[in-house]
A and B are shown apart, each in its own frame.
Chain A
Amino acid sequence: MASSVRGLLLCLSAVFFCLQCCQAKTVQFDWNVTWVTANPDGLYDRKVVGINGQWPLPVVEVNKGDRLVVNMYNGLGDKSASIHWHGMFQNGTNNMDGPSMVTQCPIVPGSSFTYDFTVNQNGTYWYHCHTNYCYPDGYRQALIVHDTEAYFNDMYDEEFTVTMSDWYHELIEDIGPSFINLANPTGAEPLPNAFLFNDTLNTSISVQPDKTYMFRLINIGAFVGQYFYIEDHSFRIVEIDGVYVEPQEADILYIAVAQRYSILVTTKSTANKNFPIVTVADSALLDTIPSNLQLNNTNWLEYDASAAHPQAVMKVAVATELNPFDDVNLVPWDHEPLLPDPDLTIDVTVIMQDLGNGASYAFLNNISYTKPKVPTLYSVLSSGDLSTNSEIYGEFTHPYVLGHNQVVEIILNNGDTGTHPFHLHGHNFQVIERAPPYGPNFYSYLNGDPVPYNPSNHTAFPKYPARRDTLVLPPQGHFVIRFVADNPGVWFFHCHIDWHLSQGLAMTLIEAPQQIQERVSIAEDQYAACRAGGMQHEGNAAGNTEDFLDLQGQNKQVKWLPAGFTDRGIIALVFSCVAAFCGMAFITVYGMTGLETKKSKKREAGEDSNSN
């Protein structure tokens, strides 16, 4: 409740500012990131990552064109961090993107880092930590970019920001080590303990009859996608992931982690009843469902605070029976047409598999992303003419060098039975194909072999494809996306389930490296973060500054599981066979000896009788 009120106030003040002056301004924050204690689900006090002693974290609200400056000091003491501004294109400021070892060094405890970039886009975004798995500890919040020119500006009366998130009681540093572990060969993801709504539970959003409200829905969770609907209310989708779309009527959404939707809800004309706003966790993602985990949560669209606040009545037995609106069918407001045939096609398949240490890892084709020794962006900047050679970025960062302004197509096949919300940094992309679609057939490829994309046999591509920055890959299905490589930078393409990212479900796109060298310059305090952590900020993926093609010492993924009989297996088998044959030889000798002694006895007896 408190957060929604504050959200409201912030909104109002933002609107006020908008009215006052429409000129671009600089929004500056000094953030001291420290541990604080919070208990958002009322079940458990835990340490969370706070900003300036506060949690829930501040919602950042800026206007389109504003310059955002955040001086972040890592006061956690025991943990490195960084901030990724999810959905920001960072055109010309690739070094402000935030993922550790991709565009920057992790900010070690006691050091600071300044994020400074101009927001030239609009819509609903969020920010979160992007170093190892650090954001499930609470280090994530909404980032709203207001736009005075949005086509829907005069279609609503008031707006609310709604975040939903999975929530763990244990610190990630305690869960993490047992996740990628010999004892978890199936790669079963840690189970959340609760699901939060605006970082709390059982809240009400106060509305008045016959008005229209805009909800900015953001899944800021680390793992579990959520279904969203409001009982007896349908709504119009007007924005996905910062892209305005033609209004589209829908009544239920599936919001994967990192995805955003803006919806317009028109209230009823009678005001005597409160309606549940229902979020249902996608239990298909969960390995097991603990009996004390509340999967469906009710909050309220409150018409009358004194009326009853009824709990939602579930109409389905399991979440997967809900049929959410298929986001692929949305049409961007700007009607950007389908991009032409690609200049570069990247065709990769998601695989989950155990490696030689018995732990479960994730792969795109057969590479499990493994951090380089030097952030890839810094390798670009220090490698001169060799920057266009993907070898220098190391085999296990899974690098692809994209030419400037190329049309790039990524075909992503899912060889795994889970859903994977894939996120591309630095872009939103056209979704030109996805199978199976959301709806009753979403899980239809589960029985049988994975169905890869077939370029010569696919449904017709949409004329004006939906664009977004995070897209769900269906179980054993596929999707195809296109974008223009017009944003020089090192961009991470990864599964946004933080557990899967830690298992290596990621790849690195090095887009127009020569243009990066021309346009991106690194502030001294950013290199200082590397030095503070004892890391290099020059050299190839192996940290070699002399010979960029020499990758000796690069970080590698764990060795593959030995297949079948290795030397020791053969030796063991031979030994066992020899032992068995020796043993049987003893038995035979013993058995035959018995016979001989008997015979000799008989002979003796015969001799005796003869002598008589």
Chain B
Amino acid sequence: MGNNTVFAVTVFFICFRECIETTVVVSVLLAFLKQAIGGPDGDPATHKRLVKQVWLGCGLGLFICLCVGAGMIGAFYGLGTDTFSSTEDIWEGVLAIISSLIISLMGAALLRVSKLQDKWRIKLAKALEQQKNAEKPSKGRFKRWLEKYAMFILPFVTVLREGLECVVYVGGVGLGLPATSFPLAVVCGLLAGILVGYIIYKGGKETSLQIFLIISTCFLYLVAGGLFSRGVWYFQNHAWSKVIGGDASETGSGPGSYNINQSVWHVNCCNPELGGGGGWGIFNALLGWTNSATYGSVLAYNFYWIAVMVGYGAMLYRERRGSLPLVDPVFNRIGAFKARVKAFIFRESLEEPTPAEASGAVGHTGMMEKTSEVGVSTVRQAEP
């Protein structure tokens, strides 16, 4: 993961991504309010009240998140996670691979951030639909309250959810990083996310936005590929340290610091691990550069990209030719199960997911929800 003590690239991307999602929701809400009741023949007082609700929900959610996040990270470092960050290779390897997976799964969502708008428009429409039915006396008071303050609840919950997700991700990804590398990355991520969200709200040129997103996604995948390779490298380094009795550090970056039998290339310079790594540390964090490549790390890097190609190929195939054999039925099952669970919890009537949704944009976001769940659970496993 590099020893960059100033700027944690992965943390930056996570904050950036989560912030975009939040701003998209807020922007959709604001746009919707403007359209529905903010017009010349609307109700300025209600509009103002509802906009206030949106911002209030947003602000409160953000505040809680920051508190929780600060508390969590404070607790991590306060309780001495520095023992983990102390070059325990196996630990670093696990974290690198987990972050790599998280970033990879998130990357696809970032790429399709414009799709989020569609997703949230549908959700909002559903919410309003239910609001219309709210007059029905069968609903409980709580539900009615929920609906009355939907304009507060929705951004609040979204911000809270994205924010907590972000905290968990940052916690998971950043455990191996020095605490000093967090603040700048978090602030930059949030600022960049808000900027992009604002562009989306203003309805900036979608094409240039999309190109921007593609470029940033590519970057994200470069980082993730590097992390994946690095993770494997750490495992091998751990094995090597065990072989030579734990004095790999004594040998610096010269001969003996690596297993010649596993080495693909080794240059006695440009070590991203020593002395902060300098420029090589950044090179390492962004592109996975190492001065001592092993068979494992090179293969991992290449297999990572093959997996990315297969994944994106499959998604492309699905978009163009309809559902994938084998894979989609499984996702549908999972989707159906989730819907049932949700219905059970909220005591709602079960909405069967339509097969049409499984393909295209909505189905895709469904899949992303699923995958991000996977990400969360892996992170939880990683927590001590």
Chain A residues within CB distance 8 Å of chain B:
182-186, 188, 353-354, 356-358, 360, 561-562, 564-566, 568-570, 572-573, 575-576, 579-580, 582-584, 586-595, 597-598
Contact = CB atoms under 8 A, between A and B. Distances in A.
14 contacts: A183-B245, A565-B265, A569-B293, A572-B265, A576-B298, A579-B305, A587-B111, A587-B214, A587-B308, A592-B214, A593-B319, A594-B111, A594-B319, A598-B206
A591 B256 contact: no
Interface of B: 107, 111-112, 114-115, 206-207, 210, 213-214, 217-218, 221-222, 225, 243-245, 247, 250-251, 255-257, 259-261, 264-268, 293, 298, 301-302, 304-306, 308-309, 312-313, 315-316, 319-320, 360
Contacts of A565: 265, 267
B255 A572 contact: no
Given A587-B221, A588-B218, A593-B319, A185 B256 contact: yes
A186 B316 contact: no
Contacts of A583: 221, 225, 304-306, 308-309, 312
A582 B111 contact: no
A563 to B, nearest CB: 8
Contacts of B304: 583
Contacts, number: 126
A183 B257 CA distance: 11
A591 B316 contact: no
B256 A594 contact: no
A591 B225 contact: no
A594 B115 contact: yes
Nearest to B315: A590
Contacts of B260: 182, 354, 356-358, 561
A576 B302 contact: yes
B213 A591 contact: yes
Interface of A is mostly: helix
Given A591-B111, A592-B214, A579 B261 contact: no
A597 B225 CA distance: 28
Given A184-B244, A572-B293, A580-B305, A588 B264 contact: no
Contacts of A591: 111-112, 210, 213-214, 217
Given A564-B266, A573-B265, A360 B214 contact: no
A593 B320 CA distance: 10
Contact of A590 (B207, B251, B306, B316): B316
Contact of B256 (A186, A573, A588): A186
Nearest to B294: A572
A591 to B, nearest CB: 4
A358 B266 contact: no
Contacts of B255: 185, 353-354, 358, 561
Contacts of B251: 185-186
A183 B243 contact: yes
B306 to A, nearest CB: 7
A186, A568, A570 — most chain B CB neighbours (10 Å): A186
B261 A582 contact: no
Contact of B261 (A358, A575, A580, A590): A358
B78 to A, nearest CB: 34
Most chain A Cβ neighbours within 10 Å, of B222, B298, B320: B298
B301 A579 contact: yes
